[in-house]
Amino acid sequence: MTQHGGSGQWTAADAGDQHGRIAVITGATSGLGLETARVLAQHGATVVLAGRDPGRTEAAARQLRAELGQGLAEAAGSPAAGAGAPAAVETDTVQTAELDLASLESVRAAAADLSGRFPRLDLLINNAGVMMPPYSLTKDGFELQFGTNHLGHFALTGLLMNSLLAAPGSRVVTVSSNGHRAGRMNFADLQSARHYQKMAAYGRSKLANLMFTYELQRRLSAAGADTIALAAHPGTARTELTRHMSGLSQGALDPRFGALNSWWVQDAKMGTLPILRAATDPAAIGGTYYGPGGFMQLTGYPVVVTSSGRSQNKEVQRRLWVESEQLTGVTYPV
């Protein structure tokens, strides 16, 4: 096992040198996605912030470029810096892509754009998501949570697979949730048309994220591909994803009550660590699931964790894959 610092805990500092790697992160305008992009860029990766609102996405990119430029300028001015230390970040280190996962047309356009820009893609982080909104549909008629969290990412990954396969050691990291444990894969009502319960639908979409990861890894292995698929979850993290939760639930997450809730809620920086470990740890193995190592996987430093028994049902994984192909019209080259 890789040793980490003096405490043995994996932190962002352990992400290592990412120069030469190209990473696409969905939902990267705030929260976990933006923090993931920030750390990867700080370690040298070219990051592509993919988001549905071009204005917000470009604003996030400008923010990152400014932070990176300031960091490099400070490093150049430090006594330890050499005479040739860089004073500004390269403009193409942080890029953007327009992507609305609730629209297959947008997913196809984004994939075409990204494939054109990057024939070789080292890292795809399927992070974007919606959590427990009122019942609504995607532009293609799918229940919003299942359509965005799972089907949109299923389609995007398949359409970018050739670029991923072209990069030795590439990875697909899909972000799930502890909420997957409440999920049931009801193929008779995948779109919750008969009955919508927002937590149940969220759990189903997060269960689908894990089943997709496990089935994708099995297919990549069978094809002898060098690409691997992994999953991660942030525990209970304070992000914009909780905006549809009740006022009481949001109050329980408030950092002002840290003395009471710190055992079960953490900030975005800590919540991002399992994603970063899945993306960068050289010891990571395909099909691995990372999450916080604390009580009930709610908080803590990232470790390998187990998912529910339902998520590991290979027959249901295969059926979900076939259903997803039929619903999206996207097939994989593996």
In a domain, 42, yes or no: yes
Q: What's the mean pLDDT in 21-44?
A: 97
User: Looking at residue 90, what is its pLDDT?
Assistant: 54
CA R_g for the chain:
19
Give the mean model confidence (pLDDT) for residues 44-52.
98
6 within domain boundaries: no
- Look at residue 48 and tell me if it is in a domain: yes
pLDDT digits (tens, 9 = 90+) for 87-97: 344 558 999 99
Token representation of residue 168: 């030795």
pLDDT band for position 237 (cuts 50, 70, 90)? confident
Number of domains in the chain: 1
169: in domain: yes
- Using pLDDT thresholds of 50, 70 and 90, give the confidence band for residue 263: very low
Mean pLDDT over the full length of the chain: 89
Q: What pLDDT score was predicted for residue 213?
A: 98
In a domain? residue 18: yes
pTM above 0.95, yes or no: no
**Tokens 């974007």 found at:** 128
CA distances, 89 to each of 44, 62, 65, 93, 237 (Å):
10, 11, 7, 7, 30
| Mean pLDDT value across residues 301-325 | 98
Would residue 62 count as lying in a domain?
yes
Average pLDDT for 35-63: 98
- pLDDT(236) > 90: no
Whether 250 shows a pLDDT value over 50: the answer reads no
Q: For residue 261, is pLDDT > 60?
A: no
Task: Tell me, yes or no, if 214 is annotated catalytic.
Answer: no
Look at residue 252 and tell me whether its pLDDT is greater than 70: no
Please report whether residue 2 resides in a domain: no
Residue 334 covered by a domain: no
pLDDT surpasses 50 at 25: yes
Closest C-alpha to 173, from 271, 93, 286: 286
Which candidate in 202, 214, 289, 290 is catalytic? 202
Host domain of residue 317: 12-328
Mean pLDDT of the region 210-221: 98
CA atoms within 13 A on the CB side of 177: 28
Q: What CATH number does the domain containing 124 carry?
A: 3.40.50.720
Token pair 């809620």 in the structure block, residue: 265
Q: What is the pLDDT of residues 168-196, one digit of tens each?
A: 999 999 999 999 999 999 999 999 999 99
Task: Report, as an integer, the average pLDDT of 269-276.
Answer: 97
pLDDT, one tens digit per residue, over 106-138 is: 999 999 999 999 999 999 999 999 999 999 999
